[in-house]
Amino acid sequence: MSVVVELKDVHKSFGQVHVLRGVSFEVQRGQVAAIIGQSGSGKSTALRCMDRLETIDGGQLTVCGHALHDPDVDMKALRRDVGIVFQSYNLFPHLTVEQNVTLAPCTVKRKSAAEAREIAHAVLAKVGLDHKMDAYPEQLSGGQQQRVAIARSLAMEPSLMLFDEVTSALDPQLTGEVLKVMEQLAADGMTMVLVTHEMAFARNVAHQVVYMRDGRVHERGSADILRQPSTPELAQFISADA
């Protein structure tokens, strides 16, 4: 297995606020890593740094072979290798589902319209929405819109998928729809890093759990740490979430 994501002593501040305080961990190819922790622990900032939506202030961060601590990193190449899905779906309301999904393959990868449509059909089938190709976002439920957002990222054939609290705005039934898609991606061998509050999903699917607290990795290990935490802080976090 090769390392897809590697953080070494990563620091990040916003003004006077030191958000990441020497974060280090790595994710192997084919692994699912779940980052958990209280609000303000730095978990979403760590994830955003992996797509260079935030630049780090210190340490080293390598993603899919791209050195993100290098000011001259090739951003286009990084965007081709990394897909990211947010809590808000960010779909273009004036475009159909198909057009939302084919836009990037056509403009970034220079795929023909026919090729892009074929890709769209395949990735929408993967998320169970190939029958909604001609629908507009407003005609879809929140769970369906989130699944289209996942399909849109998959259409770029990324080596790594990042998910930032993608179910936090959804009700339990719609959350289940989205988690089922992510579970299937994991089963297919997609390398994934997700910030999540879904402890059951982390227990059942994650190969690695990273518990962040006060901008640091407080505890890290297999999903077993959610069953038998080593620190009182993680034990308290899990019991509060139960």
The predicted-structure confidence for 193-213, as pLDDT tens digits, reads as follows 999 999 999 999 999 999 999
Domain count of the fold of the chain: 1
For position 123, what pLDDT does the model report? 95
Give a yes or no: residue 82 inside a domain: yes
Inside any domain, residue 186: yes
Specify the higher pLDDT residue, 240 or 63.
63
Q: Which residue from 1, 93, 84 is spatially nearest to 46, judged by alpha carbons? A: 84
- Residue 82 belongs to a domain with what CATH number? 3.40.50.300
Which pLDDT score, from 0 to 100, does residue 174 have? 86
Residue 242: pLDDT band by 50, 70, 90 thresholds?
A: low
pLDDT tens sequence across 30-56: 999 999 999 999 999 999 999 999 999
Asked whether residue 98 is assigned to any structural domain, the reply reads no
Task: To the nearest 10°, report the CA torsion of 186, 192, 193, 197.
Answer: -30
Structure confidence at residue 219 as a pLDDT band (50, 70, 90): very high
β-partners of residue 17 are 14
On whether residue 113 sits in a domain, the answer given is no
In a domain, 134, yes or no: no
Residue 165 located in a structural domain: yes
Give 81-98 pLDDT, tens digit per residue.
Answer: 999 998 888 899 999 999
Question: What pLDDT is attached to residue 1?
Answer: 59
User: Of 71-75, 92-96, 127-131, 167-171, which gets the smallest average pLDDT?
Assistant: 167-171
Query: Which domain does 228 fall in, by range?
Result: 3-90+159-241
Packing angle between helix 113-126 and helix 97-107, nearest 10 degrees? Answer: 130
Per-residue pLDDT, 170:
86
* 131 within a domain of the structure (yes/no): no
Question: Does 44 reside within a domain?
Answer: yes
* pTM of full prediction above 0.85: yes
